[in-house]
Amino acid sequence: MRICSKVLVSEWDACQRVVGKPKESSVLFYKDEDIVYVNISYVSSNISRRYKISANIEKLFIGHVKDGSLTIRLKNPAKDIMLQKAQPSELRRLIEILDLIKSGRKLPRGILKRNASTDIQSCSHHRLRITRREDYPFSQGFSASLQELCVKELRLRQFDTRMLKLSCLRSLDLSKNYLERIPQEIQDLNLVQLYLNNNLLASWPSIPENSALSKSLEYINLAHNLLVWLPDDFWLLSKLRNVDLSTNLLRGIPTAYLHKLQFLVILTLYSNQLDSLPLVLTIHRLNELSVHGNTFLPSETEVKPSKVAPSLLDCASLAFVRSNWYPCLEKCLPWKLRVRLAVFRKCLRCRLSCGIEPYRILVPYNSWRNISSDRMNPPSVLTYLCSDECVRAYNLNKWKYTLD
């Protein structure tokens, strides 16, 4: 059984302090003469380590499996094998196997390979790291079995379309190049991690919700690029857990479908040109949100009622989103209308869903947790009021209607 993750091996003696950072690794569990071993091969070097697992497990730390983390504590040597940023489904399968080993029960036949020396040797065929231009396979092509590909600091100006044929690829690192665009066909890859930071990207392609990438991608790094905007359907990448959009030129972030991301825990937005944050971020249970280095507008004190009657579209959308039919008919709507309705809009006063064209007001939010922001320029949140009645009630008793 092989797992691709970041690994840190350290002493678990209480007197010892953990030193070092987790490294990208291929972790292989196998049997050799009925004894289970784990072989850890580091991506950035040719170094590998082997540890005995059978009758050698002191304890399993499984509290953060849903976040992709697991720690295996060994008796001899007294080591902690810490796995991070792995796929939770793979860790759950591994825990079932380790529980059997720890209890001394016999493993079912075929659950682990025997004498996996060939698998250990083939680890190098599943990952490729290129940091010198002369090593780039311009004429040879890439191995079809590649799972991890790192092509950094090679001054590449175009995306190599041969990478789009790597169906086994799970991690792609193209950081620190000169890429200006990403092809639409990237949607066909089953990537879990995608590193595109420190390039010259000015746009990101629109990825359909039924594509392979939208169902697999968990981490994307688009930091240090030239992004001014992102497509409205960006958050259809529904498995995202960690998103880095820092140090770009973004004036706003798309809000459609953002409230439907169940796994998002880290969102990095610092050093952009944001003037407000979307309301949906106040309901997300993010572990980390970084927004410092933006120029947020000050909060507003009053909303002026409109002297114009609401449009037919606004009235119809308000009735539709509050009806029981909306979840059933959402996918039948024209795409542009569907995206507009997919924005999380709750009235600040009545707490009901708003239509497409509600009143808007910037309000302060003083209860941010796990947020990094500038003390002298705290973020304002764009909120909504659904009707003239709610506007009048809000203006009379603003202290009642806050985000706290």
- Are both 203 and 271 inside the same structural domain? yes
To which H or E segment does residue 23 belong?
strand 23-32
Same structural domain, 131 and 255: yes
Q: What is the mean pLDDT of the chain?
A: 87
Are residues 108 and 92 located together in one domain of the fold? yes
Tell me: the pLDDT tens digits for 290-334?
999 999 999 887 888 887 888 999 999 999 999 988 888 988 999
57 with 154, same domain?
A: no
**Are 256 and 132 part of one and the same domain?**
yes
The band of 120, judged by pLDDT with boundaries at 50, 70 and 90, is: very low
Query: How far apart, in whole angstroms, are the C-alpha atoms of residue 124 and residue 41?
Result: 9
Does 16 map to a domain?
A: no
For residue 332 the two structure tokens come to: 């039948």
How much is the pLDDT for 221?
97
Q: What is the CATH number of the domain that holds 106?
A: 2.30.29.180
- Whether 118 has a pLDDT exceeding 50, the answer reads no
Would you say residue 237 lies in a domain? yes
Domain containing residue 55: 2-9+22-119
Q: Is residue 300, in this structure, part of any structural domain at all? A: no
Q: How far apart are CA 351 and CA 349, in angstroms?
A: 6
Q: Is residue 192 part of a domain?
A: yes
In a domain, 187, yes or no: yes
**Does any domain span residue 17?**
no
Question: pLDDT per residue over 243-253, tens digit each?
Answer: 999 999 999 99
Identify whether residues 258 and 144 lie together within a single domain: yes
- The predicted-structure confidence for 376-394, as pLDDT tens digits, reads as follows 888 999 999 999 999 999 9
Residues 101 and 151 in one domain: no
Per-residue model confidence as pLDDT tens digits over 156-173: 999 999 999 998 899 999
Is the Cβ–Cβ distance between 2 and 83 less than 8 Å? Answer: no
Write down which residue in 93, 119, 145 finishes a domain.
Answer: 119
* 136 plus 275 within the same structural domain: yes
Can you give the pLDDT at residue 119? 47
388 and 253 together in one domain? no
Asked whether residue 213 carries a pLDDT value surpassing 80, the answer given is yes
Report cis status (omega within 30 of 0) of the bond before 77: yes
Domain count, the chain: 3
Last residue of a domain, one of 70, 92, 119: 119
Residue 114: the pLDDT is: 62
Helix and strand numbers, DSSP H then E, in the chain: 7, 19
Tell whether 165 is covered by a domain: yes
Task: Please indicate, yes or no, whether residues 128 and 107 belong to a single structural domain of this protein.
Answer: no
pLDDT at 216: 95
User: Looking at per-residue confidence, does 117 or 327 come out higher?
Assistant: 327
For residue 241, what is the domain's CATH number?
A: 3.80.10.10
Statement to judge: residues 382 and 239 lie in one domain: no
User: Is residue 98 within a helix (H) or strand (E), and if so which, with residue range?
Assistant: helix 88-103
Q: What is the pLDDT of residues 13-69, one digit of tens each?
A: 655 555 678 887 878 888 877 888 888 887 666 677 888 888 888 888 988 888 889
Check if the beta carbon of residue 206 is closer than 8 Å to that of residue 183.
no
* Domain boundary residue, one of 92, 119, 146: 119
Q: Residues with Cβ < 8 Å from 11, sequence gap 6 or more?
A: 78, 79, 80
In a domain, 298, yes or no: no
Handedness of CA 314, 316, 321, 323 (dihedral sign): positive
Say yes or no: 67 and 100 in one domain.
Answer: yes
CA 66-72-73 angle, to 5 degrees, is 140
Task: Indicate the pLDDT class of residue 122, thresholds 50, 70 and 90.
Answer: very low
Q: What confidence score (pLDDT) does residue 404 get?
A: 66
pTM (2 d.p.): 0.70
**DSSP symbols for 241-306:** -EEE--SS--S----BTGGG-SS--EEE--SS--S-EEGGGGTS--SEEE-TT--PPPPPS--PPP
Residue 85: pLDDT band (50, 70, 90) is confident
pLDDT mean over 206-229: 95
